[in-house]
Amino acid sequence: MAKILSLFIMVTSILAFAPILCLSSKTNYYGYLYPQFYDWSCPNAKEIVKSVVAKAVAREARMAASLLRLHFHDCFVKGCDASLLLDSSGTIISEKLSNTNRNSARGFEVIDEIKSALEMECPQTVSCADILALAARDSTVLAGGPSWEVPLGRRDSRDASISGSNNNIPAPNNTFNTILTKFNLKGLDLVDLVALSGSHTIGNARCTSFKQRLYNQSGNNLPDYTLDQSYAAQLSTMCPKFGGDQNLFFLDYVTPTKFDNNYYKNLLASRGLLNSDQILVTKNQATLELVKLYAENNEIFFEHFAKSMVKMGNISPLTGYKGEIRKNCRYMN
Ligand code: HEM
Ligand SMILES: *[C@@H]1O[C@H](CO)[C@@H](O)[C@H](O)[C@H]1NC(C)=O
Ligand SMILES: *[C@@H]1O[C@H](CO)[C@@H](O)[C@H](O)[C@H]1NC(C)=O
């Protein structure tokens, strides 16, 4: 009897400790994300991501903006699952070919470089989706913005959605209500919308993304008069009515590579570049109040931005046995 009892105790205690053993393995059994996820399995992961991002941003300041945007474009399509990173192959049609991403989304080589470094250090351990989340944070910090702890433990998708990319990610000429609805569908609210739009304090946009405002805002061959007209005249020299579509412009022409609240000051001066930027002050009283708050108080902007980034990074991640840890971010295993 005593023998059976001790055997029983042995078996149950092994079972009881099983979850702790799993902590050190590569699968996220918890179903939620937490910053310490790689502390046992790949303790240098965060440092490795940071050092590759730092090198890339030192080579080209704009890369901080490009990497930040990749996380957004990943999370708004089937959640933060690195679906954006898959190249076309087999049944996969790459999201890189969508209207929003084609000739626009960039920084994929830097993600590859990070992934290779991580595969050398700890093979098949750190997901591409987590790389995007960490790179977005590191880029923000490098550009002078706020820092935050990045919850980790996302897994990578085994599919992509070009229709999701075309339809879920807001377009610059969407109406205010369409954009807010697209955020709400991802569990993000009006504060998240205004705070995260502050990303446009760094980086570039192409002429094609705002041309409509200069020449034909409402289909009647008139400009958008909510855009400061001397700024519009300046823009039009490199963004003519016909041609020049791929020419690049700063989203924040005052401090284009510095992550600060100048974006909001520009909006209040009717100098937001995209229609989706300017409507935050022209179409809704609550967003206007937030823009004023952030324009006056950089600290509150940074605080809200960090909080909203964590929220965005939590959009339906794959955990547990769902998905996989890709060896190469461009292809399924
Ligand atoms: C609110 C709805 C949004 C719209 C309509 C929008 C639209 C755009 C457009 C049209 C561009 C320029 C693309 C081009 O011409 O190639 C752009 C650039 C950018 N967006 Fe957004 N965006 C939105 C929200 C966000 C959010 C939430 C983030 C990040 C959290 C973000 C980060 C960026 C960055 C950093 C750039 C510059 C990228 C670079 O220079 O490579 N945007 N966005
Ligand atoms: C928005 O821009 C797209 C792409 O340039 C264009 O096809 C579409 O007609 C525009 N929509 C509106 C409402 O102007
Ligand atoms: C202006 O927009 C309207 C409606 O989208 C379109 O029919 C018209 O051709 C545009 N005008 C020019 C000059 O592109």
CATH of the domain at 253: 1.10.420.10
Question: Do residues 239 and 112 share a domain?
Answer: no
Most informative mutation of 69, 208, 213 for ligand 1 (most atoms within 8 A of CB): 69
Answer yes or no: do 183 and 62 share one domain.
no
Same domain, 212 and 133: no
CA of 220 to the centre of ligand 3 (A): 7
What is residue 26's predicted lDDT score, i.e. its pLDDT?
Answer: 54
Residue bearing tokens 């739009």: 197
Residue 320 lies in a domain: no
Q: Are residues 49 and 86 in the same domain?
A: yes
Q: Do residues 140 and 245 share a domain?
A: no
In the predicted model, residues of the chain with pLDDT beneath 70 are: 1-29
Smallest-distance ligand from the CA of 220: 3
- Is there an atom of ligand 1 within 6 Å of 325 CB? no
CA of 116 to the centre of ligand 1 (A): 27
**Do 164 and 180 reside in the same domain of the chain?**
no
Q: Which domain holds residue 115?
A: 45-168
State whether residue 215 is helix, strand or coil. helix
| Any domain includes 12 | no
Q: Given this model, what pLDDT does residue 255 score?
A: 98
Helices (H) and strands (E) counted in the chain, each on its own, are 14, 2
C-beta 317 within 6 A of ligand 1: no
Residues 158 and 180 grouped into a single domain: no
* Helical spans, DSSP H, in the chain: 2-23, 45-59, 63-75, 108-121, 128-142, 162-168, 176-184, 190-197, 211-215, 229-238, 262-268, 275-282, 285-296, 298-313
Whichever domain contains 78, its CATH number is 1.10.520.10
Answer whether residue 6 is part of any domain. Answer: no
Which of 168, 187, 217 corresponds to the end of one domain?
168
Decide which of 117, 137, 168 is a domain's last residue.
Answer: 168
Count CB neighbours of 47 within 10 A. 10
Please report whether residue 4 resides in a domain. no
170 is in an annotated binding site: yes
Q: Is 76 in the pocket of ligand 1 (CB under 6 A)?
A: no
Same domain, 147 and 229: no
Residues 200 and 255 in one domain: yes
Instruction: Note whether residue 32 is domain-resident.
Output: no
Task: Kindly report the average pLDDT of the chain as a whole number.
Answer: 93
267 is a domain residue: yes
Cα(74)–Cα(318) distance, integer angstroms: 13
Please check whether residues 221 and 297 belong to one and the same domain.
yes
Instruction: Give yes or no: residues 194 and 305 share one domain.
Output: yes
Q: What is the pLDDT of residue 4?
A: 43
What are the backbone angles phi and psi of residue 118, rounded to the nearest 5°? -70, -35
**118 close to 184: Cβ distance less than 8 angstroms:** no
Does 113 reside within a domain?
yes
**What pTM value is reported for the model?**
0.93
Q: Are residues 144 and 196 in the same domain?
A: no
The pLDDT value recorded for residue 260 is 98
CA of 200 to the centre of ligand 1 (A): 6
Element holding 248 (H helix, E strand): strand 248-250
Number of domains in the chain: 2
Instruction: Render pLDDT for 97-153 as a digit per residue (tens, 0 to 9).
Output: 999 999 999 999 999 999 999 999 999 999 999 999 999 999 999 999 999 999 999
pLDDT of residue 29: 65
SS3 291: helix
In this prediction, residue 275 carries a pLDDT of: 98
pLDDT at 6: 47
